[in-house]
Structure formats: structure tokens, C-alpha cells
Amino acid sequence: MDFIRNVREHLPEQFLNSIDKQLKLPIGLRSDGTMVSLEEVLESQTEARLWPELEEAQRAEITAKRIELQPKFNLGLIGRGVLSKEEAISEVKEKTRIGRRLIDIENRLVTKLIAEIEEKAVLNK
Amino acid sequence: MTARQTSPSHKVEAAATALAIEANFDAITKAAFSYRRRKVYRRLRKRGMKVVLLSGKKAVRQTVASAATQDQTVLLTGVGHGKRRTFCGYENEPIFRVGQYAVEEIRGKVIHLLSCFAADGLGRDFRAKGCRAFFGYREEFAVPFEDLSELDELAEPFFGSDAEIDLAFAEGVPLKEILERVRRKFDENIARLNKLGKRESSAVLESNRDLLIALIADGDALPQSAF
């Protein structure tokens, strides 16, 4: 996990542009409980537990915030209809089945993103 | 479509009919219908299949039950909301409910429902009552979008991945090989979305892929390890 801390200068600008939306979103928790964004992690040696080290409840907290911070959010569900941002946040906070699915989706996204950042940072060091 | 005799699972009758049920009444089912009308039904017809389309107000229990019992219907494909034991059509009117349909409506047919949960409850019931194969999802099929133009843009990777089931069947792909081909289509679209920087959409599509199952022959889903 240390591999993605303070590696911004090693990442290609084109790649950073492609993950622009992700940079502002939280990816970990400091010891005082505040969230840390991906951008902060990439730019410093910030002390924080990052996504892979977090427990389910903490991942739920971060997932809810990540959804909240998106300018627009709708999730069309064939089976139920369209889930709004507010409904999605509520599902995550209440840890419903759909809420757990949303956490799983964030897990897929963040895990791949971290792996991609590690790979690119190593290549460009 | 020409008759092929290579194996029972590969056999497709001449003048085969696909019965297409499209709930087509809200944003997500309308988007699915718009895509499938343009990109799927046309290709089924090119393959020689007759497509009987029941969309919107026609996607109701009575019309579906009548059309489904026609002898030439070999594929029943549909988009609609639902629950574990129910598949719904226009304005969520139940079309198929566990234990509340005639066996003749599904016997010997390949059934593909783009609907939530159907795989576990209704799908297993269809298999137990004699459908040849059932393709469906264990939970909701999800599509993320900021606005309707993005929903339209994502139709190809999302509804196109799912539609590979119908297209593979129409091409005569053996039933037991269809799931593998569909998963490859999902994988191609997941990679394409990643390449375009649409990582959020890619993660949702990957989640959908992992919820798709096929119930064939003995009623068991093909093992994930097979892929």
C-alpha cells in the first residue's frame, strides 16, 4: 500500500487526467477518523489506512461519501428502477443488499485503480 | 435460420420464432428496449428468426401467454423488473410467477430474462418445468449514468453484453458454450470502458457479469471455474 503514497510525480500526466474524477474522492481514513482523498495520498506520505486495510463498516462509510461527492449519480436497476444519489447513500449506510452491492462495486473499482497506480509508478521511477 | 442437427443443444428449428417481451415503460427499460430494437432484433431476423415483439402495453400476461404457446417459439427473451419469483412487464404487471403459468409456455424453450433475481427463483422453476435453458441474473442488472445521454452511450457495453446471449443462440452456438461466449463479450466491454477512462462503469459491468448464470440440462449453473 505504501507504493501509492507520494508517487504523483512518477505518474504520467495523461493517466492522471484519466483518473481526474477519482482524485478528489476518499480512499482511506486517518487515525482521527477523517477521510483522505486519493490526491492527498498521491501527493504526500500521509498517515492513513487505505481501502484494502479497512473493515466493512469503514468501507461503507467511504462508499457513501464517494457517492455523495459525485456531481451526478443515478444507478439504473433492472429489477427495481432508478436509484437516486440519496437513495444509494441510504442503502449503503443501512447496509442493505443493494448497499453491499454498491460497496462491492467500489471495491472492484478502487482495487483495480490502486493496482494500476502502483504499476505505473514503478514503471516510471 | 436453417435447421442444424449437430447435437440436441445445437438444434435450431427452421422458421424459429423469438418471443421478445419488453416492459419498455421507464427510463431503464426504455433504454434497454431502444438498444435491443436497433441492435438485437434486427440481427435475429437476419439470422432467419421471426421476432414477435410484445413491447410496452403489449407486454402483459395475457398476450405473452398466448404468444408463448405457439409451436415455433424457441427463444423467449425479455426485459422487465421483477422479484425472485416474478418477472414483470408493462408497469410492473406480473407476467411469469412461480407456479402461475402453463408449462406449455416455457417447455422446450431457451429463456433469457434481463431482470433481477430471476435466476434463483423463477429460472429454477422454469428449468424444473422443462425449459431447455435459462439465462439470467442472481441480483439486479445495474447501469450507472449521470444523465440520459450517458445511459444511451452505455447501452452498447451494458445491454450489448447481455444481448450476446440471444445473438449466440441465433447463431446456433451450443447452449453450454453460450455463457462462456457472453462472459468474453462482457470482458471485452469491461476492458473497453477501462481504456476510455470509464472506470466506474467498468466496475459495475464487471459486477453484472459475475451475477449472470445459466441453468442448462440438469438444472445446475455452470461452475465459475469453467471460465
Tens digit of each residue's pLDDT (9 = 90 or more) over B165-205: 999 999 999 999 999 999 999 999 999 999 998 999 999 99
B81/A78 CB distance under 8 A: yes
Q: Which residues pair with B87 in a beta bridge?
A: B82, B96
Whether the complex's predicted ipTM is more than 0.90 is answered with: yes
Fold exhibited by the domain B8-216: Rossmann fold (3.40.50)
Q: Any idea where the domains of chain A sit in the sequence?
A: 2-123
Mind listing the pLDDT tens digit for each residue in B122-174? 999 999 999 999 999 999 999 999 888 999 999 999 999 999 999 999 999 99
Count CB neighbours of B42 within 10 A.
12
Q: In this complex, do A76 and B115 lie within 8 Å of one another by their Cβ atoms?
A: no
Do A105 and B114 lie within an 8 Å CB cutoff? Answer: no
Neighbour count for residue B138 (Cβ, 10 Å):
16
User: Which of B52, B100, B102 is closest to B76 using CA atoms?
Assistant: B52
DSSP structure string for A17-54: HHTHHHHTSEEEE-TTS-EEEHHHHHHS----EEGGG-
**Domain edges within chain B:** 8-216
Contact A78 B29 (CB under 8 A): yes
Q: Which residues contact A120 (CB under 8 A, 6 or more apart)?
A: A10, A11, A12, A15
The residues of B whose Cβ lies within 8 A of any Cβ of A are 26-29, 31-32, 79-83, 114-117, 139-147, 151, 194, 197, 199-200, 202-204, 206-207
CA distance B148 to chain A (A): 10
Q: Tell me the pLDDT tens digit for each residue of B22-78.
A: 999 999 999 999 999 999 999 999 999 999 999 999 999 999 999 999 889 999 999
Residue position matching grid coordinates 436509484? A83
pLDDT of chain A along its 125 residues, tens only?
A: 668 999 999 999 999 999 999 999 999 999 999 999 999 999 998 899 999 999 999 999 999 999 999 999 999 999 888 999 999 999 999 999 999 999 999 999 999 999 999 999 888 77
Residue contacts between A and B (CB atoms, under 8 Å): 89
Give the Cα separation of B145 and B213 in Å (integer): 25
Would the CB atoms of A19 and B140 count as touching at under 8 Å? Answer: no
Closest CA of chain B from A21, distance in Å:
10
Closest listed residue to residue A22, CA positions, set B143, B153, B188, B201 = B201
The separation between CA B66 and the C-alpha centre of its own chain, rounded to angstroms, equals 20
Dist. CA B201–CA B203, nearest whole Å: 5
* CA B25/CA B92 separation, integer angstroms: 9
